[in-house]
């Protein structure tokens, strides 16, 4: 069977570092076309994928014979380009955040459903090594009833970078919380289900900054679990990536999934050490001095596009239900409202 042909809209960090390498390394898929209007990125794309057709805009892409497309452009364009793919009857993968608002995302989902066109969202951090380990620990039952879930996505970036994510226009959907909150909120929802109340503190702390760079969000899940989530550009020291408190034990995990830096260093799925965190980052499970080390699961970003291929060939479901991404955006919007008005928001 011939490889399925993928078209990638955008060749910034998302297209160049994540999507193109993962598609290229997935059996049965090929990078057939790349869209970028930047001459330097176009030259890089052609060098990276000599057999791909590099075009300057979306209209040129949709004139090609493609089996699916990936939208990995600035956030403000996600819904517009996804809808264009759906109008052309082409299945589409949309990078996170799915759209700028839950209503915008819901309109894309409605259009895809009505047209019968495949749609999914790139929530790759459901396949992080540390998150897979958290799932394994919860499934083991050793924590007992979960009381609280803590998740931190920390960075040290005290000076704003020069890119669209730093633009203050709300239409851009930039800022740290859209960027990282789309991951940590999604992970909390995947683990503990729907949210009933949201409280948030979302701030601009950097000199000259136009968008948020420090966020804390508290979620009250209908299941009774409370999730405390942090994302910041101000973490100069190492903090736990995850901590789960249960009525029988606590699990603490330091370290961050290694797949992103590995891709940047040229590693690909199947290479020796792919997705494997250092043994020193193993988590600790227990109470007081009575703890056991929990080896970290191997990260599996490759599963995402393997599942996309299976769905496109009628052999499985798409990896992420877009309805779950709509729900995550509802929580993100509630957090933004909470931070603005200084109150708990009920969903």
Strand partners, 219: 198, 227
Concatenate the DSSP letters of all residues of 213-258 into one string: -EEEEEEEETTS-EEEEEEESB--S---SEEEEESS-EEEE-S--S
- Residue 15, C-beta contacts closer than 8 angstroms, at least 6 positions apart: 8, 9, 34, 36, 70, 72
CB 258 within 8 A of CB 275: yes
Looking at residue 50, the DSSP 8-state letter turns out to be T
Asked whether residue 174 carries a pLDDT value surpassing 90, the answer given is no
CATH fold of 4-124+304-317? Rossmann fold (3.40.50)
- Is 31:8 a contact under the CB 8 Å cutoff? yes
- CA separation for the pair 94, 22 (Å, rounded): 15
Please check the confidence at residue 210 and state whether its pLDDT lies above 90: no
pTM attached to this predicted model: 0.95
Cα atoms found within 13 Å of the Cα of residue 228, Cβ hemisphere only? 10
CA torsion sign for 332, 335, 339, 345 is: positive
Per-residue pLDDT band at 164 (split at 50, 70, 90): low
- Domains of the chain, residue spans: 4-124+304-317, 125-300+330-346
Which residue has 């799932």 as its token pair?
135
Domain 125-300+330-346, architecture per CATH: 2-Layer Sandwich (3.30)
The answer on pLDDT for 115 being more than 80 is yes
Please state whether beta strands 92-95 and 214-221 pair in parallel, antiparallel, or not at all (unpaired).
unpaired
pLDDT 10s digits, 266-281: 999 999 999 999 999 9
Cβ–Cβ under 8 Å, residues 191 and 198: no
CB atoms inside a 10 Å sphere around CB 114: 9
Q: What whole-number percentage of the chain has pLDDT above 90?
A: 91
The dihedral sign for the CA sequence 282, 245, 241, 137: positive
Region of residue 288 (phi > 0: left; psi between -120 and 50: alpha; otherwise: beta): left
Cα gap 75→173, rounded to integer Å: 6
DSSP 3: P
Token digits of residue 113: 């459903």
Confidence at 160, pLDDT banded by 50, 70, 90: confident
Give residue 146's pLDDT band: very low, low, confident or very high (50, 70, 90): very high
Same topology between domain 4-124+304-317 and domain 125-300+330-346? no
């Amino acid at each position: 069977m011939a490889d399925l042909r993928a078209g990638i809209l955008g060749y910034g960090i998302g297209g160049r570092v994540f999507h193109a390498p993962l598609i290229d390394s997935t059996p049965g898929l090929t990078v057939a076309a790349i869209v970028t209007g930047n001459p330097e990125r176009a030259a890089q794309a052609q060098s990276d994928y000599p057999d791909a057709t590099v075009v300057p805009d979306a209209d040129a892409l949709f004139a090609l014979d493609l089996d699916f497309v990936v939208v990995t452009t600035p956030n403000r364009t996600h819904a517009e380009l996804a809808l264009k793919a759906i109008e052309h009857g082409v299945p589409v993968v949309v990078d996170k955040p799915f759209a700028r608002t839950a209503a915008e995302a819901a309109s894309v989902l409605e259009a895809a459903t009505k047209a019968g066109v495949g749609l999914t969202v790139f929530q790759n951090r459901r396949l992080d090594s540390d998150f897979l380990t958290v799932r394994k620990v919860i499934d083991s039952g050793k924590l007992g009833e979960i009381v609280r879930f803590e998740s931190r996505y920390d960075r040290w970036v005290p000076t704003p970078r020069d890119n669209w994510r730093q633009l203050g226009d709300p239409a851009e959907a930039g800022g740290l919380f859209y960027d990282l909150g789309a991951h940590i909120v999604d992970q909390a929802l995947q683990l503990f289900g729907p949210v009933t109340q949201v409280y948030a503190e979302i701030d601009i702390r950097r000199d000259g900054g136009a968008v948020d760079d420090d966020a804390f969000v508290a979620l009250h899940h209908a299941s009774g679990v409370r999730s405390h989530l942090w994302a910041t550009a101000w973490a100069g020291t190492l903090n736990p990536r995850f901590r789960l408190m249960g009525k029988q034990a606590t699990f603490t995990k330091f370290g961050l999934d290694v797949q992103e830096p590995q891709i940047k260093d040229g590693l690909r799925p199947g290479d020796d050490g792919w997705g494997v965190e250092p043994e020193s980052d193993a988590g600790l499970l227990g109470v007081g001095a009575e703890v056991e080390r929990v080896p970290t699961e191997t990260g599996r970003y490759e599963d995402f596009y393997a599942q996309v291929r299976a769905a496109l060939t009628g052999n499985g479901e798409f990896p992420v239900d877009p309805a779950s991404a709509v729900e995550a955006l509802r929580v993100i919007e509630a957090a933004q409202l909470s931070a603005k008005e200084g109150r708990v928001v009920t969903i």
